[in-house]
Amino acid sequence: MKAIVGLGNPGTKYSMTRHNIGFMIIDELSDRLGLKFKSGKGEYLYSSNGNVILMKPLTYMNNSGIAAQEMIHYFKISTTDLLVVSDDLDLPFGKIRIRSNGSNGGHNGLKSIIYHLNTDMFNRLKIGISNEKREFIEADKFVLGKFLKKERETLNEVITQSVDIIERFISNNIEESIKFNNKNRLTIN
C-alpha cells in the first residue's frame, strides 16, 4: 500500500497560502479518487481505498513528522511506499520535482518528518512556489502569503499535473514518476 502525505497548516486562515499547496494537491487527489477524509489514530486526517492512504497532518507544518510517524506506524507503511508532497521555496512557481530521497532543503515540514522517521529515505514531490517578489520578503512571510493573481490563473494546472504524477507513483513506482522531472510542461508568463 502507498501513502501520500500532503503538507500544510490546518485551518481556513492558511488554506490558500503557498505553504498549503501540499494540502491542495491531496484534496484534489482525494476528489479524483472519490475518497473522503476522516480522523486518524493520531494528529492527522486520512482517506483510503485499500491501495493508497492519503494523509493531512493536523499539526502545524513544523511538527508534520509527528503525524507522519503516527500514520506510518498505525498502517505499517514502509518509507519506500511513502510520498510527501510539499512546497519548495527554491523552485520557481509551477516547477514540479519528484525525488526518491534527499535533505530537507530548508523546509521545516520535511525536517520534522526526517527527524521523526529517523531517515531521509522517502519519496517527495516538491512544488515550486517562488516568484520575483521572493527576494524582498522574509521566507516565513512569503510561504504564508497568498498566490499572486497570475499564479492563481495557473494554479489548477499545477495541481492537476501534480496529481497526475502522484497517480503514476501509486500505480507504478518512483522511477516511472521521476521521468516527469524532464517533462515539466508548465510555463508561467
Cα 102 to chain centroid, rounded = 15
- Report, in angstroms and rounded to the nearest whole number, the Rg of the chain calculated over CA atoms: 15
User: Is 188 part of a structural domain of the chain?
Assistant: no
| Residue 135 included in any domain | yes
Asked whether 176 and 47 are in contact (CB, 8 A), the reply is no
With 90 as the cut, is the pLDDT of residue 54 above it? yes
Domain containing residue 12: 2-183
**Given a cut of 90, is residue 184 above it in pLDDT?**
no
Query: Quick check: is 102 in a domain?
Result: yes
Per-residue confidence at 189, pLDDT binned at 50, 70, 90?
A: very low
Parallel, antiparallel, or unpaired for β 2-6 and 52-57? parallel
* Lowest-confidence pick of 64-68, 72-76, 136-140: 136-140
Reference 187, options 149, 144, 157, 142; nearest CA is 157
Which grid cell sits at 123? Answer: 519519496
Per-residue H/E/C for 98-135: EECCCCCCCCHHHHHHHHHHCCCCCEEEEEEEECCCHH
At residue 179 the predicted structure's pLDDT band, cuts being 50, 70 and 90, is low
189, part of any domain: no
- On whether residue 14 sits in a domain, the answer given is yes
CATH of the domain at 43: 3.40.50.1470
Residue 45 within any structural domain of the chain: yes
Catalytic (active site) residue 107: no
> What is the rounded average pLDDT for all residues in the chain?
91
Tell me if 30 is assigned to some domain. Answer: yes
Note the pLDDT tens digit of each residue in 7-26: 999 999 999 999 999 999 99
Q: Is the pTM of this model over 0.85?
A: yes
Q: What is the pLDDT of residue 187?
A: 42
Question: 73 lies in a domain?
Answer: yes
> How many domains are there within the chain?
1
Catalytic residue among 19, 73, 107, 116: 19
